[in-house]
Amino acid sequence: MQPGPVHGQARFALYWAPELGDPLHRLGSAWLGRDAETGASITQPALPGLDIAEITADPRSYGLHATLKAPFRLACSYGELEAAVEALTARIPPFDLPPLTVQDLSGFLALRETAPCPRLQALADACVADLDPCRAPLTEADWARRRRGKPGPAAEARIARWGYHLVFEAFVFHVTLTRRLTAEERAVVLPAVTEYLGDAPARPRRVTSVCLFSQAAPGAPFLIAGRFALRGGA
């Protein structure tokens, strides 16, 4: 766990990430080549005829995760952000996550849930709405990054209001494993990552915490600044 930066160009995000004892943490981090908990680089498996480091470069910088509230700069102090996360997690009880599988998501490979999970949706909704007072307005660079996929009017409106397009009815739980792949690359990578992760994605698991990730400066890797236990119903 890394201390969170508190000023300057730092960004923060609320992510789901596997618990440290979950085999998915070890295998998924090794697939990406970096452990977001420690910041350590990890030797990646080989891919026949392909450069796995290049294919995983973008998700590696963010760490193994699924987005609940997308990266944002602070409109408050770091202590106030921590307090807001504590207040949110205090009222949300742990819940079971459906089994995960490797799926194609608009050309990217990602871990997706195999069944709808209303409590996961509710957690993501709460992270977006409850923590929005902590979020500073988007910069021009933020807007350019969010518009890279040429979102439509509805998505633009969500970006303008919440800083990200995949929120509320547009929320898509996904643990990104690659950049966008060509059909030829996908034919190699999909069976390779499925075999490498084995049964770890499909194992039963409970969501017992959310992670506050931090990025010290533009281009820096994201690190886990803190894990906050879900304590609702206790």
- Mean pLDDT split into 10-residue runs, the chain, 234 residues: 56 98 98 98 96 98 98 96 98 98 97 97 98 94 78 90 95 98 98 98 97 96 98 83
Within a domain: 111:
yes
Amino acid 130: pLDDT = 98
CB 4 within 8 A of CB 78: yes
Contacts of 157 (CB under 8 A, 6+ apart): none
In a domain, 117, yes or no: yes
The answer to whether position 5 is within a domain reads no
Largest CA distance in the chain: 51
Residue 8: its pLDDT value, please? 67
> In CATH, what number is assigned to the domain containing residue 101?
3.90.1140.10
The range of the structural domain enclosing residue 17 comes to 11-229
- Number of compact structural domains in the chain: 1
Which pLDDT score, from 0 to 100, does residue 234 have? 57
Q: How many CA atoms lie within 13 A of 218 on its CB side?
A: 5
Residue 234 within any structural domain of the chain: no
Contact predicate 13/72, CB 8 Å: yes
Residue 187 burial class via C-beta count within 10 angstroms: exposed 0-12, middle 13-18, buried 19 and up: exposed
Any domain includes 1: no
Query: How confident is the model at residue 146, as a pLDDT?
Result: 79
Q: Measuring CA to CA, which residue among 44, 34, 36 is closest to residue 18?
A: 36
94, amino acid identity: P
Q: How far apart are CA 60 and CA 210, in angstroms?
A: 19
> In the prediction, which pLDDT does 145 show?
79
How far is CA 21 from each of CA 17, 35, 138, 152, 214, rounded to the nearest angstrom? Answer: 11, 13, 36, 40, 22
User: Which residue has tokens 């994201």?
Assistant: 222
Per-residue pLDDT at 7: 53
* Per-residue DSSP letter, 169: G
Establish if 6 belongs to a structural domain: no
Output the CA torsion 115→162→32→27 (10° steps): -40
Site of tokens 């690190």: 223
